[in-house]
Amino acid sequence: MPVFLARVVRLLRVRVRGWRAALGVASAVFVTSWLAMGLAEPESAITDPGTYWWWFLITASTVGYGDVFPQTGAGRAVGAYVVIGGIVTLTILFTELAAHVQNLRGKRMKGIAEHELSGHVVVLGYAPGRTERLVHELRVEDRCGVALCAWDDVAEHPMPGEDGVVFVRGDLAAVDVLQRAGVKRAATVVVDARDDNEALALAVAVDHLCPGVHMVVALRDMERCRHLRYVSPDIRCVQWHMPNLLSEEALDPGITEVYAELMSSAGSGNTYSVPLPGAWAGQAFGECQTRFGRDFGATLIAVRHGDGSVAVSPGWDAPVEAGAVLYYLAPRRVDAARLSG
């Protein structure tokens, strides 16, 4: 029996792959052991069709409840054959499972697996160091997953230990690569290409596959932004040398326009500073903020304390001591005399 089983296993391993090999071994052992048990113990209750499948399952899995068992030496030999067959079957199953897991991990490491992310951020392009910092900023709040996509020159996942980051490799303008990255299910696509021409090509590919997706594109020459507007008027362009804006715009759409408005002297508001009036010394930040908003239509955003430290949006109850400087947003500068009045 063991010799026969060994030949069956070798034959199945050569001609049959995967889970079918285990099924073939189990089926062969079940049929042959049933016939052998019928010859060894023809009067035993084990050979009853309603009982044998149960005895076979319990014996092959080496659980051995002992509710039914062979009485003769030949019957016990058949039982040993079933145990060996069960061990062989389980070995094949575990080997196949390990190979499947290893194969899947290999595909994920090489960037050729398809991912089921949704509501995530897709990053198109990889630059050592720069992209790692960008991904860390995107993941700092742990709000969404990241699909990091790189060209074929990046052989393996550059951030394998980062939770929530999957890797996709290939031609980043190809539909199948973008589909593996889940662009259609993404909340945001960040294009961080090697040059502005490549950025334009990738933006066209993304917009063709998923029109209307929130897309942020890093550009060396911001004049190229008007070309991207031809692709979609909703594309957000960010200066390539300011990668922190890429992550901020990706997570909070429209924030770059707010920054541009704040930095524009022609905008509807600007940032100003004023020394803390002597009469306000010791008041809480919230009280100062209320007075700025109520009396001057301004928004107090930060305080520089007397020791030189700056606190942006401090706590409502944080005291503001004498010698501090207040920073605020307003349509125009507030007259210091009105603050002291």
- Asked whether 174 and 157 are in contact (CB, 8 A), the reply is no
Are residues 225 and 281 part of one domain? no
Between CA 315 and CA 45 the distance in angstroms is 81
Q: Which two tokens stand for residue 38?
A: 């019928």
Asked if residue 115 is part of any domain, the answer here is no
CATH number at residue 204: 3.40.50.720
Angstrom distance (rounded) from CA 87 to CA 4: 15
Cα-based angle 9, 14, 17 (whole degrees, multiple of 5): 90
Residue 324 or residue 341, greater confidence = 324
> Hey, which bits of 253-308 come out as E strands?
270-275, 299-304
- Quick check: is 116 in a domain? no
Is 139 domain-assigned? yes
Q: Is residue 307 part of a domain?
A: yes
| Total domains in the fold of the chain | 3
End-of-domain residue from the set 110, 143, 166: 110
If asked whether residues 126 and 256 sit together in one domain, one would say yes
39: domain range? 2-110
Distances (CA, A) of 161 to 124, 132, 170: 19, 12, 21
Whether 89 and 141 map to the same domain: the answer is no
For the cut 60, the answer to whether the pLDDT of residue 46 exceeds it is yes
Q: What are phi and psi of 122, to 5 degrees?
A: -100, 125
What pLDDT, on a 0 to 100 scale, did the predictor assign at position 207?
94
The rounded mean pLDDT for the chain is 84
Is 243 in the same domain as 159? yes
CATH classification at residue 336: 3.30.70.1450
Helix (H, G, I), strand (E, B) or coil at 239: strand
User: Does a structural domain hold residue 320?
Assistant: yes
Q: Are residues 250 and 126 in the same domain?
A: yes
Instruction: Using a cut of 0.85, tell me whether the model's pTM lies above it.
Output: no
| Domain end call among 51, 77, 110 | 110
DSSP 333: P
Could you report the per-residue pLDDT of 215-251, keeping only the tens digit for each?
999 999 989 988 888 889 889 999 898 888 888 888 8
- Burial (CB count within 10 angstroms: exposed 0-12, middle 13-18, buried 19+), residue 249: buried
Q: Last residue of some domain: 209, 244, 263?
A: 263
Q: Regarding beta strands 146-150 and 165-169, do their DSSP bridges make them parallel or antiparallel, or are they unpaired?
A: parallel
Q: Quick check: 118 pLDDT over 70? A: yes
Asked if 259 and 125 sit in the same domain, the reply is yes
| Distance between CA atoms of residues 337 and 125, nearest Å | 54
Q: What is the CATH number of the domain that holds 88?
A: 1.10.287.70
Tell me the two tokens of residue 239: 């200066």
189 sits in which H/E element: strand 188-191
